[in-house]
Structure 1
Amino acid sequence: MTERTWLVTGANSGFGRHLSEQLLSRGDRVLGTFRAKGSVDDLAERWPATFHAAHLDMTDPDEITAVVDQAWATLGRVDVVVSNAGYGLMGAAEELTDEQVVHQIATNLTGSIRLIRAALPHLRRQRAGRILQLSSVGGQVAWPGGSLYHATKWGVEGFADAVAGEVAPFGIGVTIVEPGSARTNFRYGSSVLADRIEAYDDTPASRIRGILTERTAQGIGDAARMASAMIASVDVEPAPRRLVLGSDAYEAMESALADRLADVRGQRESAAATDDPRT
């Protein structure tokens, strides 16, 4: 087993916590970021020689750059960058405030883009490295009540997909991680529910409100197993472009992609009819 050095955002909870604990347990080095003071103190106490903590607000561009630079300055080398930090903003699009929209995009999309861009010069100089961009089944499937969350995940997938082609010549691999529902604190701990507009009570958008308020539905995915699969993916060459985790994610994505492909194929002739006849 190769010992590696990792930069993991959002190391205090969810997948970031599972990843950090597993990596440290096997002897890897981790620089893990957090927002809440004291939330990673236990990791620093258990692994004082191999765990390094850094505060990071994903909406602060200067702090993102400083933390990434600190990772290389402190550790000398980072083999894997895990862009994990984020949260879910749920509710019908009309129910969201402008401030909520801006913050969701700044955290999940713009923050992830800034993190990767800040890491690329370091990885490029190494001529090696791997980026794991946490997305979601919601980066390929869109359900009512999650429009802004889906917008950020679809957006970051497009970004990461294109970047993968840009940096492959430098020995850098990019994997988009697409978990389904998992038993983490994402659903009932880090998700934000917009204020209710009664007109949406009996519409498809209300389903997510019921799930978040009733707090009875549990994800089927094992977060620790998912984290193990993410770690194992780094040993795969070439880097898998996508890593689907959970049977629910696979089934939902397969169905959505089949429907999308059917829509496209049904327009083959009409699409060609708009070509310039001179070509």
Structure 2
Amino acid sequence: MANWFITGTSSGLGLALARAALARGDTVVGTVRAQADAQAFAALAPGRAHAMKLDVTDEAAVQVVVRTAQGLVGPLDYVVNNAGRGFTGAIEETSLEDARALFAVNVLGPMAVIKAVLPAMRARRAGHIVNVTSVSGLAAWHGTGLYGATKFALECLGRTLAQEVAPLGIRVTNVAPGGMRTAFAATRLPGAEPVIADYAQTAHVARAVLQDKHGHEPGSPERAAQAILTALDAPEPPLLLLLGEDALHYAEHEFAGLEAQIAQWKDLTLSIAAEPEVAGS
């Protein structure tokens, strides 16, 4: 049986993944923000479900909680960076204060967790780090530039980390979901203020679409959790796992467009080559 450490298990995908792991007999340490959520989580599987309060933006607290989790359940086999929040608004509308706050949660928080768990994983030459990013970390969509930027950053951290730790026996998987039927769009979706009317037909559409689709998103968090377990159990787990038909559609469309641009401008790309050096000069 495996030991899990999952951030953001009060609801949504984090809770669904914790439930799925517990259902197969694993032990899960889940982080929450409220005491009521901690009590509800621990009741899922007394003795195997352990809740710890944590704000991932507090690096010192992350270190303490990770050490406590390791002391409580032993070596951590799977560490899942799931905690995060959303944001909508045009780039021009977004304050640097809001940008710093979102990066603190969505990028620096996962980085703090990664740094906290790696020493023990390196010592064991084992472990698997899972980063829940988003299709927004692969495909840009007006109105979600700041959120997408944090997920692009987490995608890069995960892919680079995979290269750095592969020789040490540690694996990394980035999970990029599309829309799922969680409370994310309703409770964790602040927006930029004040708004600028010129962006009504572009950036402002994103928030309206996300809120209109709330409760009708195409993805099931429970099925997503099962898909993650299947991927992580594979002999060669993926570096990137897209989840959902919408995620697949947007990612394929984005990559096809970039590939076309690269091909169209290939000659100009290659035109900057320096002149060959002349022997003896």
Matched with 1:268 is: 266
Distance 1:235 1:252 in 2: 26
1:234 CA displacement? 1.3
TM-score computed with the length of structure 1 as normaliser: 0.94
**Superposed counterparts of 1:2-151, under 5 Å:** 3-151=1-149
Unaligned runs of 5+ in 1: none
**Superposed counterparts of 1:238-257, under 5 Å:** 238-257=236-255
Distance 2:209 2:107 in 1: 25
**Superposed counterparts of 1:174-253, under 5 Å:** 174-212=172-210, 214=212, 218-253=216-251
Please tell me whether the aligned partners of residues 188 and 215 of structure 1 are also in contact (alpha carbons under 8 angstroms): no
1:265 CA displacement? 1.8
CA offsets 1:81-127 (integer angstroms, 9 cap, x no match)? 00000010111122223321111000001111111121111111111
1:196 CA displacement? 4.2
1:129 CA displacement? 1.1
What residue identity is the alignment partner of 2:21?
A: L
Q: Residues 134 and 213 from structure 1, CA distance in 2 versus in 1: closer, same or farther, beyond 3 angstroms?
A: closer
CA offsets 1:18-70 (integer angstroms, 9 cap, x no match)? 01111112211000001122113122123221011111111111111111222
Distance 2:174 2:71 in 1: 27
Tell me the SS of whatever aligns to 1:86. Answer: coil
What residue identity is the alignment partner of 1:173?
A: R
Unaligned runs of 5+ in 2: none
Distance 1:87 1:108 in 2: 7
% identical aligned pairs? 35
What residue identity is the alignment partner of 1:76?
A: G
Distance 1:40 1:193 in 2: 28
1:218 CA displacement? 2.2
Distance 2:195 2:26 in 1: 48
1:198 CA displacement? 3.7
1:212 CA displacement? 4.8
Please tell me whether the aligned partners of residues 11 and 40 of structure 1 are also in contact (alpha carbons under 8 angstroms): no
Distance 1:263 1:131 in 2: 33
Please tell me whether the aligned partners of residues 200 and 206 of structure 1 are also in contact (alpha carbons under 8 angstroms): no
Q: Residues 213 and 259 from structure 1, CA distance in 2 versus in 1: closer, same or farther, beyond 3 angstroms?
A: closer
Q: Residues 246 and 38 from structure 1, CA distance in 2 versus in 1: closer, same or farther, beyond 3 angstroms?
A: same
Please tell me whether the aligned partners of residues 85 and 108 of structure 1 are also in contact (alpha carbons under 8 angstroms): yes
Distance 2:47 2:153 in 1: 37
What residue identity is the alignment partner of 1:15?
A: L
Number of aligned pairs?
277
TM-score computed with the length of structure 2 as normaliser: 0.94
Matched with 1:277 is: 275
RMSD: 1.5
Distance 1:258 1:212 in 2: 24
Tell me the SS of whatever aligns to 2:31. Answer: strand
